[in-house]
Chains A and B, each alone.
Chain A
Amino acid sequence: MRLNRHMFRIAATVVAGIGFASFGPTAGAQNEPRVQLEDLDVTVDAVGNARFVDKVTRSAMEWEQYKENYGGNPSLLKRDLQHHYSSTELRDISLTNDDMNRVSTLSWTGDATTEYIGNGQWEGRLPKGAKATKVSETLWEFTVSYPDEQGITQETFHIHLPKGTRGAEQAQNETGDPVLRYTLPDHTGSPLPWLAMLLGVLGVALLAAGFVLGPATPRSPGAAAH
């Protein structure tokens, strides 16, 4: 679950295009560092794919900068996403802009967002520094902050795990990165072969018992005289 800071990186990549406010003591002194709030909903399905919906509300100035950077070519967002979610396969990327309320909604599906690690266990990577809180068995949330050239971006993640998930916990993988680990029983196997085998074994056992265990109904001595 590579839920990383794509917006921060995008901002860093196009730092040239967003006002350069940090340079020069004048600009730095006049403007309070802005805090940009983002909400990212991540809905994971039973095979580790996830649907991401990233909703960002911007100030008037930020909206102008955003439109300047991406307005004419929103496919740039796709390229940036692909760079920063290398370990997933992206599809169904879409962007809607609500100009009246200065809200952009970027959504995409990331295949292989979480990975099956065996014994019914799955694992998804979290951003560095994430401390996820359990809201319910299938809902986890956390907020991470990223400094950028203009201030701070605070991104709140809402992770919806598949139905039937149990035992979810935040852990560390072998490289020390934070991960969200959960158990989802594997229902892909059919019980029919096991049932057939059980019935067959029982049948053979009973049949064998019918031939082997003890004599058939004993004959009476009188009948033997005839």
Chain B
Amino acid sequence: MARQVLRVSGVVLIAAAIAVGGAYLLTRPPPGRLTFNIETKPALMSAAYKVYGNRSAGDGRYWLSKVVIKNEGGSPVENVTTSFQIPGFVEWTNPRSYARILPGQTIVSLFYPRLPDSVATKTTTTTEHVELKVDYADRGGARHEETREMDFQLRGRNDLIYTTLPESEVLTVQDLYENTDLAAAFVTPDDPVIKYFVEQLESKAMGGTTVGAGADPKEIGRFMATVYAFEQLSGIVYAGTEGLPEKSGSSVTMIQKVRLPREVLLGGAGLCIELTALFASVAEAAGLDPVIFTTAKHAFPGIKINGDVVAFESTSVGLPGMGEKRTSFEDALKLGQQDKTIWMRGGNQDLGPRILMLDMHYLHHVSGIVPPELPDDPAARQKIDEILARLLSSDRRAQQAPAPRAAATRTASSAPGPAPAPPPAPAPEPSGDAGNRYADPNGFFTLSLPAGWHANPYPAARFRSLALEAFDAGSTMRVSVLVFPGVPSAENAFGQLRAYVASLGGQMKFSEQAPVNNRGRDYRQFYGGTRYPQGNSIDWVFYVRSFPQGTVMVSLAARQGQLVGVLPQLRQVFSTFDPGA
């Protein structure tokens, strides 16, 4: 009987199990179902590559891709992972894991790409794509993988993107500058060249200073005046070009080409934002607290001093090439204060509407908007030494002069902050003749080469027009001089050069650009490159001048893709070129 009871109970329980299981199958919720919403920024600035890799920068707003994953099914989805890559730049990131996504739950996965330092040398814009991989397990434990691809622009290191807002979001002029915080990436106090410049300026030009302590307005004024004098003496001028609006994808994107401060310091010309970034970089490297005022049409720097901000008009170095007189430091301070007053009132027609004041200390050290990693540059250091040597000699002349000009103008200054020391008298024209002077054996030309450069006169026996090949052993920079006696035009000279290059298996391509003036002489300017099938291709800029006696050409060259970064240094060499008669 007991066995019977056991058997019957067992059958009943099994029947109950089947019934409960069936009820579960009939009433169980549907499986989990993930939906994806992916957003990718239309463009990244190479100069700000460190910012994009920092999830804390700007309170996390500088992500490249944002993926919103929602479980719209009825059951949890287990073990979800997300990973990203940018082919050629960033390999698949360590998967971000989510143990479980419940029905109705949302997760947000952000991609902050850690781009390599080499991005800082990128000079052109390319279209790249970011890839997303989502891996998850379904209810039965089977793994699934979803992938997506999104394009974005990786802009060159000199591109400053003022806004990435979609066109439909733009309402006010401020909207066109909503990304302007990233201008702080162009302020480079840690650049070894800028640091060296400040060290030399403080020790040699100023004879020591306590400016880094930041409390003495007079000392800060002396420092600012010395920086300004250096800019004027080194021939830095204002190049009043504005940024050109450029559409990028579906966004209205105001993009401006902005050279890095080291390029402006040695390159000789700067836009208002470039001169401002240079001044702010130097000031911050010296331990000061700079700010940048921006309006829709202008930018100018200021220094925080004892709770006030002393503004300065960095474009006062002027447009001497267009007949504009250089402005004294005192007047540059006055102009800066006027600009600041206008800015505080909201702007005017000349400056445009007020946009923002960028506090460099806050942006660099709190917001995480940091500049790119830049390598040291011995040629730049040498150039700084040369200019400082001239600055010191002219300072001595000024001290020996019977009536110090600046002593009178200092009392006329109404600036509320520093009382600047007299700046040294600026040199009338830029020059870089203090290097190793090279004279052509045939007397056709002279030029100065930086230390460490090698000069190879008439290196090609089959092409005697190549009068000099000078190169920097530590880089791919090269300066060549070609002399074509009796050749009347650039076209004829290029014809001979093409033939010679073709005999080596190379091919030249170039286009003519606007002419330039160097040391009072006009030169035709050509941008191009020479390609060799076996490699060693180069990019170059040719400056060509034809005389009654013939044609002379100067080539500034570097390995393909590297020219833009070194062009300012090469142009310094060209600025010393003298074709004689």
Task: Give A contacts to B, CB under 8 Å.
Answer: 2, 4, 9, 12-16, 20, 22-25, 28, 46-49, 73, 75, 79, 83-84, 86-89, 111-112, 115-119, 186, 188, 190, 192-193, 195-200, 202-211, 213-217
Contacts and interface: CB of A to CB of B under 8 A. Distances in A.
Contacts of B107: 112, 115
Contact of A87 (B75, B102, B108): B108
B11 interface: yes
Contact of A200 (B13, B23, B61, B100): B13
Nearest to A214: B3
Contact of B20 (A12, A115, A119, A192): A192
Given A23-B344, A190-B24, A203-B13, A79 B60 contact: no
Contacts of A25: 307-308
B7 A47 contact: no
B356 A15 contact: yes
Contacts of A211: 3, 7
B354 A88 contact: no
26 contacts: A4-B59, A12-B362, A16-B174, A47-B103, A47-B104, A83-B58, A115-B107, A116-B102, A119-B99, A186-B100, A190-B24, A190-B28, A195-B20, A196-B21, A199-B14, A202-B10, A207-B10, A207-B11, A207-B14, A208-B10, A209-B6, A210-B4, A210-B5, A210-B10, A213-B3, A214-B3
A19 to B, nearest CB: 9
Interface string B56-84: 00111101001010100001100000000
Interface in B1-40: 1-18, 20-21, 23-24, 27-29, 37
Contacts of A203: 9-17
B344 A192 contact: no
Contacts of B37: 89
A75 B28 CA distance: 43
A176 B76 CA distance: 30
A111 B110 CA distance: 14
A118 B99 contact: yes
Nearest to A6: B59
Interface of B: 1-18, 20-21, 23-24, 27-29, 37, 58-61, 63, 66, 68, 70, 75-76, 98-108, 110, 165, 169, 171-172, 174, 178, 307-309, 344, 354-357, 362
A192 B21 contact: yes
Nearest to A119: B99
A25 B551 CA distance: 63
A199 B16 contact: yes
B11 to A, nearest CB: 6
Given A112-B108, A199-B17, A213 B100 contact: no
B308 A207 contact: no
B399 to A, nearest CB: 35
B13 A206 contact: yes
A207 B28 contact: no
Given A4-B59, A206-B6, 18 more contacts: A2-B60, A25-B308, A47-B102, A49-B106, A84-B60, A86-B61, A111-B68, A112-B68, A192-B20, A195-B20, A196-B24, A200-B13, A200-B17, A202-B10, A203-B9, A213-B6, A214-B2, A216-B3
B13 A116 contact: no
A211 B276 CA distance: 96
Contacts of B61: 83-84, 86
Contacts of A118: 99-100
A205 B17 CA distance: 13
A192 B76 CA distance: 16
A24 B355 contact: no
Contact of B60 (A86, A186, A188, A208): A86
B172 A73 contact: yes
